[in-house]
């Protein structure tokens, strides 16, 4: 980043349960990226999942991060408190004929074979409802299907200049901005909030890399700056699948129950990001030694003594 840019990173978990090792590792990398450049790391709760997001999960996640030495100021925002803002933006796009109602079910979308060519994003939309006639729309409305609202695009391709992955081509689709239950979609909320919080750098898991073109497209459409992207390889289990409870000790509480304290956890995590620092008290002890160039470019497999024994259920 340029020397005159005040670096603002953000960590944006969904408060639906405890943070797992992968979340915590990403938070540590984001904190180090920000503080090594005399910047700051903001906290945002992406609580669009209204069924499973709970205040007690927020408290627990804040406490877990604090155990590692990661703390935040009082300017925490919650997406659930910003629904009116997101809907206002969608309405502005509707007035420009840049969104259209979509009546497709999830199954219909998955069964569609018309997804855009190029590097595909999961759930890419084929444009089925894009050019419905007024009569077609009326029939669908009368059948009781509430519409989602999708952005009208031309399947543009964007090159994501990622710090870790390098230049990565991504193809966008007609993404949902407002779901059919009235809840704003992640792709919209995250772009609006990053701009509102002045975020200049985004550190997150590389499972989100191919969807980043969607965000860049929205940023350009809404007149927002594009932050620098740092997509971090995921943490996986011994089967090389994304980390899950079946893999064993995947939260700080799990590790504690196996006799693995915060300092030992931080030591393993430090090695996983290419650091050689020993005897860590908290994340600040990694500041002088951290270097993104040393971060492995492949997923990190959790240590064998964290993993579930074969006879465990």
Q: Where are the domains of the chain?
A: 8-81+233-306, 83-158+168-184
Per CATH, domain 8-81+233-306 is 3.40.50.620: yes
Residues whose CB falls within 8 Å of the CB of residue 230, separated by 6 or more in sequence, listed in order: 29, 33, 162, 163, 164, 201, 202, 203, 204, 292
Residue 242, pLDDT score: 84
* Strand 235-236 versus strand 300-301 pairing type: parallel
Residue 311, pLDDT score: 42
Q: Contacts for 136-140 with beta carbons within 8 Å, 24 or more apart?
A: 137/101, 137/103, 140/103
Per CATH, domain 83-158+168-184 is 3.40.50.1820: no
Mean pLDDT by 10 residues, the chain (313 residues): 79 96 97 96 96 96 97 92 97 96 84 56 80 89 90 94 96 94 96 98 96 97 98 92 81 92 94 89 94 95 80 43
Is the pTM value of this prediction over 0.75? yes
Q: Do domains 8-81+233-306 and 83-158+168-184 have the same CATH topology?
A: no
- Scanning the structure block, which residue is given the tokens 């239950």? 181
Residue 278, pLDDT score: 79
Tally of CB atoms within 10 A around 18 = 18
Q: What are phi and psi of 160, to 5 degrees?
A: -85, 115
């Amino acid at each position: 980043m340029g020397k005159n840019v005040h670096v603002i990173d953000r960590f944006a978990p969904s408060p639906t349960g405890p943070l797992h090792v992968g979340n915590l590792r990403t938070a540590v990398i984001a904190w180090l990226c920000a503080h090594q450049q005399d910047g700051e790391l903001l906290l945002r709760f992406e609580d669009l999942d209204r069924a499973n997001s709970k205040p007690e999960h927020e408290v627990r996640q804040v406490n877990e991060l604090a155990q590692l030495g990661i703390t935040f100021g009082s300017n925490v925002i919650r997406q659930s408190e910003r629904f009116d803002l997101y809907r206002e933006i969608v309405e502005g796009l509707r007035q420009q004929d840049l969104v259209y109602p979509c009546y497709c079910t999830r199954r219909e979308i998955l069964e569609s074979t018309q997804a855009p060519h190029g590097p595909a994003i999961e759930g890419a939309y084929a444009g089925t409802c894009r050019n419905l006639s007024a009569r077609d729309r009326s029939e669908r409305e009368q059948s009781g299907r509430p519409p989602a609202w999708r952005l009208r695009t031309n399947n543009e391709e964007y090159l994501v200049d990622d710090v870790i992955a390098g230049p990565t081509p991504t193809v966008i689709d007609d993404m949902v901005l407002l779901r059919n239950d009235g809840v704003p979609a992640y792709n919209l909320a995250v772009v609006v909030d990053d701009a509102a919080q002045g975020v200049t750098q985004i550190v997150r898991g590389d499972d989100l890399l191919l969807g980043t073109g969607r965000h860049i497209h929205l940023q350009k459409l809404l007149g927002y700056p594009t932050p620098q992207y740092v997509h971090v390889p995921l943490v996986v289990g011994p089967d090389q699948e994304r980390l899950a409870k079946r893999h064993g000790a995947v939260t700080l509480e799990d590790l504690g129950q196996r006799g693995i304290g915060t300092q030992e956890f931080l030591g393993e995590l430090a090695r996983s990001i290419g650091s050689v620092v020993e005897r860590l008290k908290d994340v600040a002890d990694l500041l002088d030694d951290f270097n993104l160039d040393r971060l492995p470019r492949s997923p990190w497999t959790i240590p064998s003594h964290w993993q579930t024994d074969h006879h465990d259920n």
